[in-house]
A and B are shown apart, each in its own frame.
Chain A
Amino acid sequence: MLFSRFSALFLALAITAISLTGCDKDDSSPASNTGELDIEIENVVGTTPLALNTGTYTTEAGDHFTVTKFNYYISNIKLKKADGTEFVQPDSYYLVKESDATSHHFTIPDVPIGDYTSINFTIGVDSLHNVSGAQRGALDPSNDMFWSWNSGYIFLKLEGTSPDSPSKALVFHIGGFMKPYNTIRTVSPSFNGKTVMVRTDHTPEIHFHADVLKMFTGMRFADASSTSHSAGANAVRVADNYAAGMFSVDHIHAN
Chain B
Amino acid sequence: MVEILPAIVLAGLLAAGCQPDSDVRPTEAVPGTVLPNNFPAPVYTLETNAPTREVFELGRTLFYDPRLSRTGDVSCGSCHQQFVAFAHADHRVSHGVDGLLGTRNAPALQNLRWKRNFFWDGGPQNLETLPLAPLTNPVEMDETLENALRKLNADPDYQRRFQQVYGASPIDSYQFLRALAQFTASLTSANSRYDHYVRQEAGGQFSDAEQRGRLLFVQKCAACHATDLFSDDSFRNNGLDRSFAADSGRAHITGLSTDLGRFKVPSLRNVALTGPYMHDGRFQTLKHVLDHYANGVVDSPTLDPLLRQPDGRLGISLTKPEKTDLLAFLATLTDEQFIKDKRLAERQQ
Q: Is A142 an interface residue (CB 8 A)?
A: yes
User: When each residue 293-311 of chain B gets 1 if its CB lies under 8 Å from chain A and 0 otherwise, what string results?
Assistant: 0000000000000000000
Total A residues in contact with B, Cβ cutoff 8 Å = 25
From B117, B123, B173, B252, A134 is in contact (CB under 8 Å) with B173
* Cβ-defined contact, B174 with A140, below 8 A: yes
With both chains docked as a complex, state the minimum distance between the C-beta of B125 and any C-beta of chain A, in angstroms.
4
Interface majority SS on A: helix, strand, loop or mixed?
loop
The answer to whether A233 touches B255 (Cβ under 8 A) is yes
Say whether, besides A142-B146, A178-B254, A148 and B132 are in contact (CB < 8 Å): yes
Q: Please name all residues of chain B whose beta carbon is closer than 8 Å to the beta carbon of A149 when the two chains form the complex.
A: 119, 123-124, 133, 137
Q: Are A136 and B172 in contact (CB under 8 A)?
A: yes
Contact B255 A136 (CB under 8 A): no
CB of B226 closer than 8 Å to a CB of A? no
* Number of A-B contacts defined by CB within 8 Å: 75
Q: Give the Cβ gap from B128 to chain A, nearest Cβ, in Å.
A: 3
B165 contact from A3, A134, A148, Cβ within 8 A = A3
Cα-based distance from A218 to B137 in the complex (angstroms): 35
Ranked nearest first, the 10 interchain pairs of A and B with the lowest CB-CB distance are A133-B128, A148-B132, A134-B177, A151-B125, A148-B133, A131-B125, A133-B126, A150-B123, A134-B128, A232-B255
A167 to chain B, nearest CB (A): 19
Report the minimum CB–CB distance from B153 to chain A (whole Å): 12
Cβ-based interface call for A146 (8 A): yes
> What separation, in Å, do the CA atoms of A148 and B128 have in the docked complex?
11
How far apart sit A148 and B124, CA to CA, in the bound complex (Å)?
Answer: 7
Contact between chains at B173 and A181 (CB < 8 Å): no
Complex: chain B residue closest to A4, CB-CB: B164
The answer to whether B129 touches A134 (Cβ under 8 A) is: yes
When C-beta atoms are compared, the residue in chain B nearest to A234 turns out to be B255
- The number of residues on chain B lying at the interface, defined by a beta carbon within 8 Å of a beta carbon of chain A, is 35
Interchain nearest-CB distance for A150 vs B (Å): 4
Interface residues in A123-168 by Cβ distance below 8 A to B read 130-136, 140-142, 146, 148-152
Question: What 0/1 pattern do residues 44 to 70 of B give for CB contact below 8 A with A?
Answer: 000010001010000000000000000
Using a CB–CB cutoff of 8 Å, the interface residues on chain B facing chain A are 48, 52, 54, 117, 119, 123-129, 132-133, 135-137, 145-146, 149, 164-165, 167, 172-174, 176-178, 181, 252-256
Q: Specify which of A3, A136, A148 is in contact with B174 (CB 8 Å cutoff).
A: A136
CB of A6 to closest CB in B, whole Å: 10
Q: Which residues of B contact A152 (CB under 8 A)?
A: 125
* CB closest chain-A residue, reference B179: A134
A232 to B259, CA, bound (A): 14
B129 partner, pick from A141, A230, A232, beta carbons under 8 A: A141
Q: Is A7 an interface residue (CB 8 A)?
A: yes
Residues of B within 8 A of A3 (CB): 52, 54, 164-165
Contact between chains at B129 and A148 (CB < 8 Å): yes
Contacts of A178 in B (CB 8 A): 254
A134 near B133 with CB under 8 A, answer no
22 of the cross-chain contacts (CB-CB < 8 Å) are A3-B54, A3-B164, A7-B167, A133-B48, A133-B129, A133-B181, A134-B128, A134-B174, A135-B174, A141-B132, A141-B145, A141-B173, A142-B172, A148-B129, A148-B133, A148-B136, A149-B119, A150-B253, A151-B124, A152-B125, A230-B255, A232-B255
